[in-house]
Structure 1
Amino acid sequence: MKRAVMDRFIDGIEWIAAVFVGLVALDIFVSVLLRNTLNYAIPDSFDIGRMLLGILIFWGIAATSYRGTHITVDLIWANVGPRYQRMIDVFATLVLLFVVTVQTYTLFDKVRGTFYDHVETFDLHMPVWPFFAVAWIGDVSAVLLIAIRTYRLIFHPEEMHDPEIKATE
C-alpha cells in the first residue's frame, strides 16, 4: 500500500511536468500564430513564456531526477559489477540530492525577493513571484523525489527501475 501511494505521488509530479510542457508549447504556438497571421503580440507573452519555461525546467528536474533519465556518463558504471554499479548510483544520487537541496534553498530566496520587491511584468503589471513560487515547488518536488530515489536505491533497489529502462538494470 505504501509503495502504491508513493508511486502515485511520483506519477503525479511527472504529470505536472508534462502539463507545463503543454503550456509552454501552447504559449509559443499561439504567440507565433497571432504574430504571423494577425500581426498581434499578446501582452507580456515573452515574460510569461520565459517564466513558464523556468517552471518547466524545475518540474522537469523533478521528473527526470527520480527515474535517472537525465544525461549521464556511464563509462565507469558500465564496466563494473552490479555491486559497484549500485554504489555509484547511491553516491551520484546523494550528490544530486545535496546540489538540488542547495538550489532549492537559494531559489526560495529569489521567490521571497521578488515578492518583497514587488517585481511585475512590463505590460500587464502581473506579479512575478507566483511564477517563481511554482518553479520553487517544482524544485521542492525534485528534492522529495531524489530523497525517495536515494531511499529506494539503498533499501529497496528492486523497486527502482522500470522494466523498459534496460540501461540502468
Structure 2
Amino acid sequence: MDRFIDGIEWIAAGFVGLVAADIFISVMLRYFFSYAIPDGYDFGRLFLGILIFWGIAATSYRGAHITVDLIWESVGPKLKRYIDVFATLVVLLVVTVQTIMLFDKVIQTKAQNVLTYDLQLPTWPFFMIAWLGDVAAVILIAVRTFRLVFNPQRVNQEHPTEPVE
C-alpha cells in the first residue's frame, strides 16, 4: 500500500511539472516567436483540473492540507484519535460523493462530444484522468481511515523498513 501511496504522490508531482512546463513553454513561444501552442489554453485548463484532483489524492492520505486544530490541540490523545477518525470519515463521504458526480461529468462530456477548440480533440479523456485522481483520493482516504482505527501509529509515519508490530 505504501508503494501505491508513493505512486499517487509521484503522479501528482508529474502533473505539477506538466502544468508548469505548459505555462513556461507557452509564454516563451509567445514572447520570443509570437507563436501559440494549438489548444494551449484548453490543455492548460484541463491539466490544471487533473492536477487539482490528483493533488487532492496526494494530500488526502498524509493529511498535509490546511487545517484548523484549535479544539484538537486542546484535548487528550484518545479524543484526538476520535476527532481524526470522525473528520476522516466526513472527508471520505464528501470525496466519495464528489467522485460519483465527477464520473457523471465524464459520461456527459463523452456523450456531448465536447472537443478542444483548435485541434478538435475530445476532452472526456482529460476528465477521466481527473476522475481517476478522485478515485485514488477515495482509496487513500479509506486507507487512512482504516489505519486511524486499527493502526494509528502508521498514518503519518514515513514508510518503515521493517514491519510494524
Question: One fold, TM greater than 0.5?
Answer: yes
Answering whether residue 63 of structure 2 is matched by residue 68 of structure 1, we say yes
CA shift at 1:158, angstroms? 1.1
Answering whether residue 34 of structure 2 is matched by residue 36 of structure 1, we say no
Answering whether residue 155 of structure 2 is matched by residue 160 of structure 1, we say yes
TM-score normalised to structure 1 length: 0.92
Q: Count the aligned residue pairs.
A: 158
* CA distance, structure 2, for counterparts of residue 112 and residue 161 of structure 1: 36
What corresponds to 1:24 in structure 2? 19
* CA distance, structure 1, for counterparts of residue 157 and residue 49 of structure 2: 28
Amino acid at match of 1:11: D
- 5+ residue gaps, structure 2, are 159-165
Per-residue Cα deviation, 1:51-104 (whole angstroms, up to 9, x for no partner): 000000000000001000011110000111111111110000000000000000
Amino acid at match of 1:85: K
Amino acid at match of 2:67: T
Q: Structure 1 runs of 4+ off > 4 angstroms?
A: none
Given candidates 93, 107, 114, the residue that maps to 2:109 is 114
* CA distance, structure 2, for counterparts of residue 7 and residue 42 of structure 1: 38
TM-score normalised to structure 2 length: 0.94
Amino acid at match of 2:120: H
Matches within 5 A, 1:128-147: 128-147=123-142
Answering whether residue 87 of structure 2 is matched by residue 92 of structure 1, we say yes
Given candidates 3, 15, 24, the residue that maps to 1:8 is 3
Query: Percent of aligned positions with the same letter in both sequences?
Result: 68
Amino acid at match of 1:97: L
What corresponds to 1:46 in structure 2? 41
Amino acid at match of 1:33: M
What corresponds to 1:166 in structure 2? none
CA shift at 1:161, angstroms? 1.2
CA shift at 1:162, angstroms? 2.8
What corresponds to 2:54 in structure 1? 59
SS class of match (1:122):
coil
* CA distance, structure 1, for counterparts of residue 146 and residue 54 of structure 2: 21
* CA distance, structure 2, for counterparts of residue 66 and residue 93 of structure 1: 9
Amino acid at match of 1:32: V
Amino acid at match of 2:17: G
* CA distance, structure 2, for counterparts of residue 16 and residue 135 of structure 1: 11
Per-residue Cα deviation, 1:23-49 (whole angstroms, up to 9, x for no partner): 000000000010111111111100100
CA shift at 1:120, angstroms? 0.1
